[in-house]
A and B are shown apart, each in its own frame.
Chain A
């Protein structure tokens, strides 16, 4: 039997068809293996995988609250250490739990240096409560609390740079990954687990329901985020970027036009000024991380 077939994340869960978070959960457990304790925050993944008495998890799993998975994980790592046990601990949370409400616990746990991995599945809004903006929502995305309207082009702020914040805590390993490239995602999860100390992996996980695209396009959208430079897949070791996925960049509108959350930038008429601002974000990313492959060589 291959590792994909003895999945530690079982079917029967209630995620939407084509859900990137469900796919991320499978990949994370494939990489982590059975000797892993999962500490879940409240959120889509928690709700679709554990309606009592059903659980999709075949590893030890605990859910306490929305904002405390890092602190619960701190306690678990301490208990394991005291008991002389070797299981690995992964705290899992969506972007709302991670970027916003759980930030205090996350910062404390990273500053204290507990040996655990925090994995954020980032779908760029509060999906479980109905697509409200979070600190991870990108510029101009229309959500139910940052709706585009006559005098608004959607979310007014760019995405918070959480990997940098956690790297600044002294985290030995910080990485971004995407469900578009599963082998890379698994490799990063494994590397984080094998690195001593608090490590962070942020997984870009497009939400077909929240972003407005068909479920079969989940991977295609995730790839476009990378190919346009709006999402950069990289690794930071001891605060230094050591590896970046390079791309032949496409214009951002190829990504934007596929999603209902950016539809207001194209309809009723095209908003060139705003699209240019988003292109500028991608250009800055490209420059900062050096992602461009120069084809003219």
Chain B
């Protein structure tokens, strides 16, 4: 991609999205819906901000960016997030 340098080493907002940090993952959080209480804690505490709420209110991770840190699984009060080894 050719683009002129940003004056004073500046950049437009949201450009970090080109960096797909999901490739870092060795474990993948799998969200089990049946016991999820939709408490939204995982959405709030994800350091990537990559857990979204879908139309029914369930949390859905964006695997494009999820680094697989496991914080959501560790903190989930209903214990419905499982960390599963990533298949390469």
Q: Which residues of A contact B77 (CB under 8 A)?
A: none
B49 near A9 with CB under 8 A, answer yes
Bound complex: CA of A56 vs CA of B17, how far in Å? Answer: 8
Task: Tell which of B3, B40, B47, B64 touches A4, judged by Cβ atoms closer than 8 Å.
Answer: B40
A74 in the interface, Cβ–Cβ < 8 Å? no
User: A216 with B69: in contact, given A4-B44, A23-B47 (CB under 8 Å)?
Assistant: yes
A10 near B14 with CB under 8 A, answer yes
Q: Which residues of B contact A26 (CB under 8 A)?
A: 47, 49
Task: Tell which of B16, B20, B47 touches A10, judged by Cβ atoms closer than 8 Å.
Answer: B16
Q: Which residues of B contact A182 (CB under 8 A)?
A: 44-45
A56 near B47 with CB under 8 A, answer no
A294 in the interface, Cβ–Cβ < 8 Å? no
- Shortest B50–chain A CB gap in Å is 5
- Shortest B64–chain A CB gap in Å is 8
Considering the complex, give the chain B residue whose CB is closest to the CB of A57.
B13
Chain B residues within 8 Å of chain A by Cβ, number: 38
B11 near A216 with CB under 8 A, answer no
Bound complex: CA of A56 vs CA of B83, how far in Å? Answer: 26
Q: Which residues of B contact A219 (CB under 8 A)?
A: 45, 71, 74-75
A12 near B47 with CB under 8 A, answer no
Q: Which residues of A contact B20 (CB under 8 A)?
A: 12
A54 near B15 with CB under 8 A, answer yes
Which stretch (A13-21, A77-85, A269-277) binds chain B? A13-21
The residue in B18, B45, B49, B68 that gathers the most chain A C-beta atoms within 10 A of its C-beta is B49
Which stretch (A45-53, A143-151, A159-167) binds chain B? A45-53
Bound complex: CA of A26 vs CA of B51, how far in Å? Answer: 13
Considering the complex, give the chain A residue whose CB is closest to the CB of B52.
A5
- Shortest A76–chain B CB gap in Å is 15
B11 near A50 with CB under 8 A, answer yes
A55 near B15 with CB under 8 A, answer yes
User: A52 with B21: in contact, given A11-B50, A13-B16, A58-B14 (CB under 8 Å)?
Assistant: no
Considering the complex, give the chain B residue whose CB is closest to the CB of A58.
B13
A214 in the interface, Cβ–Cβ < 8 Å? yes
A220 in the interface, Cβ–Cβ < 8 Å? yes
Q: Mask for B31-53, Cβ within 8 A of A = 1, else 0?
A: 00000000010011111111011
B71 near A12 with CB under 8 A, answer no
Considering the complex, give the chain A residue whose CB is closest to the CB of B3.
A53
A217 in the interface, Cβ–Cβ < 8 Å? yes
Bound complex: CA of A16 vs CA of B71, how far in Å? Answer: 12
Bound complex: CA of A187 vs CA of B84, how far in Å? Answer: 35
Task: Tell which of A5, A19, A54, A55 touches B47, judged by Cβ atoms closer than 8 Å.
Answer: A19
- Shortest A64–chain B CB gap in Å is 10
B68 near A17 with CB under 8 A, answer yes
Q: Which residues of B contact A10 (CB under 8 A)?
A: 13-14, 16-17, 49
A218 in the interface, Cβ–Cβ < 8 Å? yes
Task: Tell which of A9, A23, A53, A214 touches B70, judged by Cβ atoms closer than 8 Å.
Answer: A214
Bound complex: CA of A50 vs CA of B68, how far in Å? Answer: 21
26 contacts between A and B (CB under 8 A): A2-B40, A4-B43, A4-B44, A7-B49, A10-B16, A11-B16, A11-B65, A12-B17, A12-B18, A12-B65, A15-B47, A19-B47, A23-B45, A26-B49, A53-B3, A53-B15, A54-B11, A54-B18, A55-B11, A55-B14, A55-B16, A182-B44, A215-B69, A216-B73, A216-B74, A217-B74
A-B contact sample (4 more), CB < 8 A, given A4-B49, A11-B21 = A12-B18, A49-B16, A52-B9, A217-B74
